Amino acid sequence: MWQGYLNRQSAHFSVRPFLQVSTTASPVPGFPRAGLYLTNVGAGVALLSELNFYLGAEKIADPEGPMHWLVEVFKKQYPDSPHLSYVRRVPNVVSPDSPPLLLGIAPEDWTPESGKRLFDFLSQLEVRGKYRSLYNEPFTLLRTPLE
C-alpha cells in the first residue's frame, strides 16, 4: 500500500506545472523578443483559470484585453517607441516547452534603449493568477513589481 501511495505522489510531481512571469529587456535564447512572457518551468501542463494584471493599485480591465491596455499606456508614456506586438487573449493551457509572448518588441525594431524602456515599464506590473495541474491540483501565481 505504501508503494502505491509513493507511486501516486511521484506521478503527481512528474506533471506538476510551475508558472511564472518573465520580463526580458533584449532578445535572448528562448525569448526571441524583448517583452513579457508567461513561462512554465515545471514538468507538466498548466491549466490557467485566471490571470490578472495590476499597475499600481489599478487592476487592468479592458474589453480588448490587458495587453492592449498596457500597450496604450506604454505608447502614451513613450510615443517614439517602436511598435509592440501582443496577444489579445492569454492562452488557457501553458506547456513547459514554449513560453507564450504576452507583449513584446519585434527583433527588427529592438534597440537597447527601447528594450530598457519596456523592461522598466513592465517591471511595475503585479501579476496574480490561478492554475491547475493535470491532476486538478490548485496553484497560484504571484509576481510583485520589481524594485
Closest of 90, 1, 76 to residue 37, by C-alpha: 90
0.95 exceeded by pTM = no
Question: What average pLDDT does the chain have?
Answer: 88
Q: What is the mean pLDDT of residues 87-101?
A: 89
Over residues 15-30, the pLDDT tens digits come to 899 999 999 999 888 8
Q: Please give the pLDDT value at position 88.
A: 86
Domain boundaries, the chain: 49-142
Percent of the chain at pLDDT exceeding 90: 67
Over residues 54-92, the pLDDT tens digits come to 998 889 988 888 999 999 999 999 999 898 999 988 889
Q: What is the mean pLDDT of residues 94-115?
A: 92
Q: Please give the pLDDT value at position 131.
A: 97
Contacts 24+ apart (CB under 8 A), 87-92: 88/64, 89/65, 90/38, 90/48, 90/51, 90/65, 91/38, 91/48, 92/47, 92/48, 92/49
- Residue 97's pLDDT band (cuts 50, 70, 90): confident
Amino acid at 5: Y
